[in-house]
Amino acid sequence: MKTNTQNNKGFTLIELIMVTIILGILAAVAIPRYSASVAKAEEAAENAVIASITAGLETYATEKLMENGRRSWPDNPFDALELDPGSYDRNDSDSYPDQDGEWTFGDDIYGNKSIHHQRVDNTVTSWNYDKGVQTGYNADVGNINGGLEGVNSYNRVATGS
Is 63 within a domain? yes
Q: Which residues of 100-112 are buried (b: 16+ CB within 10 A; e: fewer)?
A: eebbbbbebeeee
One-letter identity of residue 119: R
Is 37 within a domain? no
Is 83 within a domain? yes
Neighbour count for residue 149 (Cβ, 10 Å):
16
Is 17 within a domain? no
How far is it, in rounded angstroms, from Cα 115 to Cα 108?
9
Does the pTM surpass 0.75? The reply is no
Please tell me the total count of domains within the chain.
1
Is 145 within a domain? yes
The whole domain housing 56 covers: 43-159
Pair 49, 56: CB distance under 8 Å: no
Is 110 within a domain? yes
Per-residue pLDDT of the chain (161 residues; tens, 9 = 90+): 556 566 667 889 999 999 999 999 999 999 888 888 888 998 999 999 999 999 999 999 999 889 988 888 999 999 988 888 888 888 887 788 888 889 999 888 788 899 999 988 888 888 999 888 877 777 778 888 876 554 333 333 333 33
Is 70 within a domain? yes
Is 18 within a domain? no
Pair 142, 129: CB distance under 8 Å: yes
How far is it, in rounded angstroms, from Cα 114 to Cα 68?
27
